Amino acid sequence: MCGIAGFWAKEMRGAPREVAGAMGDRLHSRGPDDRGVWTDEEAGIALAHRRLAVIDLSPAGHQPMTTPCGRYTLVYNGEIYNHRELRGELEKAGGHFAWRGHSDTETLLAALRHWGLEGALRRLNGMFAFALWDAAERRLFLARDRMGEKPLYFGRSGGAFLFGSELKALAAHPEWRGAVDREALTLYLRHNYIPEPWSIYQGIGKLLPAHYVVIGDEGRAVSEPHCYWDLGAVAAEGTARAAEEPETLTDELEALLADAVGRRMDADVPLGAFLSGGYDSTTVAALMQAQSDRPVKTFSIGFQEAAYNEAEHARAVAGHLGTDHTELYVTPEEARSVIPELPTIWDEPFADSSQIPTYLVSRLARRHVTVSLSGDGGDELFCGYHQYAFGCRLWEKLRWLPLALRQRLASLLQRIPADNLDSLSRRLPRDMRTRFSGDRLLKLAEVLSPETGEAFYRALVSHWKEPAAVVRGAGEPDTLFTDTGRWPRLPGLRERMMYLDALTYLPGDILAKTDRATMAVSLEARVPMLDHRLVELAWRVPTSLKFRNGKGKWLLRQVLYRYVPESLMDRPKMGFEVPVEHWLRGPLREWAEDLLDERRLREEGFFHPAPVRRMWQEHLSGARRWNYHLWDVLMFQAWLRERPATGSPSDRPEPEARPAVGG
């Protein structure tokens, strides 16, 4: 695991080697073990690398790495889990390879040279983002792994083409401009993260998962992204072939999961796993322990608040599996102390508050290991999220009600204060109170009006429903959620939900959260569930074997129950959250008030103050719970305060208007 950066600029201020080195040094936490810079000053190209040594700790794994013939130079971030098989294929193919070591970097470079870009990409099993310079053709290639586990930003700023693992590396270049993209800001308010291919800065984008781009003409010509593995085609073909063979599919899933986990246990450094005690992390830990001749190191954190604490259950699971378990109970003060670090760690606005415990458990694990396996991806592949159950059931009932009636009901619910709704819900029978809490009734009000299932789902996963009316001088661009012409043919709404999440929420939120949190402490995270062979298998599993008896992950659970008793896993899903709602009314109130100050908002010029201030006052009074919406704004404000001033015209306030908007 590493950090990469570079630029292509024929003319520039500063010495290319020093500039590239400074860009790489911004990524020190991604690669504290080694530093490398390569330049071709005549061409104007420079590549930088920071290394976290995991496989082949010797200097033979040093990057940037150049082929013996001198034509290709590579900087690469990630792990190729089938690199040993690829070496065997290369040697059988008759190539003459004088291997210097056993790093996957050397194998990847040889594969790119021998099979070409697309030929190599189709053969790779791994997580990666890389830049390959072809000196003969004077072209630069950027590529990213299939599911988006590793990040890669790129674009033009001033007179230079820039790329890197994180935005902070690009900002070290003297041509950096860094003007905020207001349209991207609207997407951030809707989703609580900035989805691919946007970034928070104008002219800079994220390379889409499973894509590559070709850059030529001294960095001035950038191709349209090329897709080398199409998840839409995988989903469409898989669902068309799906057949209900429970025992056969369980055996196939177990074998493939075991292989994916085993491949990700290959490391020359200490290795462990995150263990929350949920189905996904427990499955990964169980399959690790089954393949290990010693107790696997597992890690979890706990909170004193019972509603947010999963540590006790994780401890019970670890005891059954026989892992070497480490847990840390975190006080609210320790959790809140992380908040000032978030803007620097995430580098662009990011408002999934589970970033806090994710960072804390990563920091805990890094004290003991250099690599940790994660259970991310199981929800999207095996129908695990609550909205796949509750959301689909709700839509099936709502779609038969007249739209006008639904709109009137929404208006009525939105006029009732949250505390009053809670009082009403407490009068319901005990088994109905959770399903009809004040929060859920208000959320219901927000999703009553859509005319289609797809629009309903977009409303269900949106934070701000009209973000373009909150951001000054911006319109909201179309995304995969709104461009239905890009969707594959899938059997129903539940399948479309999983597909959309796998292309948006998974890379934009879940994987970005894991990558930034782990890399901030120099820990490599590996995600077995996102082995592309598993993804392809998951789409061949009928939905009836994923969602059964009102619960998701049925087939995955059948694998897990071969290792862990069902009675140990039978508990409600809690998630990985922190009590932001209460913190904003208590210990974070002064911090939030400063960032949401009306004068500050007006002078900075990004948000219309009125709707933000109204939400803040309603949240403080208890009239409504706006913690998700407010956290979006607060994380942008905290990021804005930390980033260097640019003086860009696009950062200057737009003329104030008075929009009549809500959330």
- Whether the CA torsion 607, 611, 617, 622 is positive or negative: it is negative
Q: How many of the other CB atoms lie within 10 Å of CB of 474?
A: 21
Question: Per-residue b/e over 386-407, b at no fewer than 16 CB within 10 Å?
Answer: eebbebbebbeebeeeeeeebe
Q: Looking at the DSSP assignment, which residues form a beta bridge with residue 65? A: 74
| Interatomic CA distance for residues 275 and 277, integer angstroms | 5
CA dihedral angle for residue 315, residue 320, residue 321, residue 322, rounded to 10 degrees = 80
Q: Looking at the DSSP assignment, which residues form a beta bridge with residue 610? A: none
SS3 state of residue 389 = helix
Residue 160 in tokens: 């230079």
Using CA atoms, how far residue 285 sits from 14, 270, 276, 298, 368, in Å, is 49, 15, 10, 8, 16
What is the bridge-based pairing of β-strands 204-206 and 34-40?
A: unpaired
Select from 222, 186, 230 the least CA-distant residue to 205: 222
- Whether the CA torsion 458, 459, 464, 465 is positive or negative: it is positive
Q: What are phi and psi of 39, to 5 degrees?
A: -140, 150
Cβ–Cβ < 8 Å for 57, 71: no
DSSP state of 333: H
Active site annotation includes 2:
yes
Q: How many of the other CB atoms lie within 10 Å of CB of 628?
A: 17
SS3 track for 142-153: EEECCCCCCCCE
Of 2, 69, 227, 392, the catalytic one is 2
Residue 505: alpha-carbon gap to chain centroid:
7
What is the bridge-based pairing of β-strands 524-526 and 371-373?
A: parallel
Q: Looking at the DSSP assignment, which residues form a beta bridge with residue 139? A: 134
| Interatomic CA distance for residues 469 and 607, integer angstroms | 9
| Interatomic CA distance for residues 639 and 631, integer angstroms | 12
Active site residues: 2
